């Protein structure tokens, strides 16, 4: 069982953001959300998030830019989510600082596995 995490969801598609938030909250996590790179950067700089779960293609930039340009109080466990699923996309996400690159539609079991990894790492500190 994953211990509760503080998760920032960055997604510009309203329904996806809503249902992802609902799923995560029902799993016991505290969730804040943003729909732009700018909003996400502000939240990452002020909120103490354990995890950032970010879409790559956003209306005002990319999730890749988000991680490169943020100065968070502590580095979050970053998970990219995208409709782009090539090896090059995954490599670009990892180069930007994402630990995982999940392809949409996201498999809930895979998301749970990745969040369990984030929880174990947070609890090991």
The pLDDT, as a whole number, for residue 78 is 96
pLDDT mean over 39-51: 89
With cut-offs at 50, 70 and 90, classify the pLDDT of residue 45: confident
Instruction: Tell me the residue range of the domain where 30 lies.
Output: 6-119
Asked whether residue 124 is assigned to any structural domain, the reply reads no
Task: Report whether pLDDT(1) > 70.
Answer: no
Tokens of 122: 């947070």
Let me know if 61 is exposed, middle or buried by CB neighbors in 10 A (0-12, 13-18, 19+).
middle
CATH at 100: 3.40.50.2300
Q: Which residue has the tokens 């809930």?
A: 108
Give domain status of residue 125, yes or no: no
On whether residue 110 sits in a domain, the answer given is yes
Q: Tell whether the model's pLDDT for residue 109 goes beyond 80.
A: yes
First to last CA, the chain: 18
Q: Is residue 12 part of a domain?
A: yes
Do the domain assignments include residue 1?
no
Q: Let me know if residue 77 belongs to a domain.
A: yes
- Could you give the CA distance from residue 70 to residue 88 in angstroms, rounded to a whole number? 23
């Amino acid at each position: 069982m994953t211990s509760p995490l503080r998760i920032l969801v960055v997604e510009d598609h309203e329904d996806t953001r809503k249902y992802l938030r609902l799923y995560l909250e029902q799993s016991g996590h505290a969730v804040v959300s943003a729909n732009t790179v700018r909003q996400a950067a502000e939240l990452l700089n002020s909120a103490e998030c354990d995890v950032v779960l970010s879409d790559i293609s956003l209306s005002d930039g990319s999730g890749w830019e988000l991680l490169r340009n943020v100065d968070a109080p502590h580095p979050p466990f970053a998970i990219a989510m995208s409709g782009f699923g090539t090896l090059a996309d995954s490599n670009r996400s990892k180069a930007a600082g994402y630990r995982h690159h999940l392809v949409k539609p996201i498999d809930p079991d895979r998301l749970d596995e990745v969040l369990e990894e984030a929880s174990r790492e947070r609890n090991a500190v």
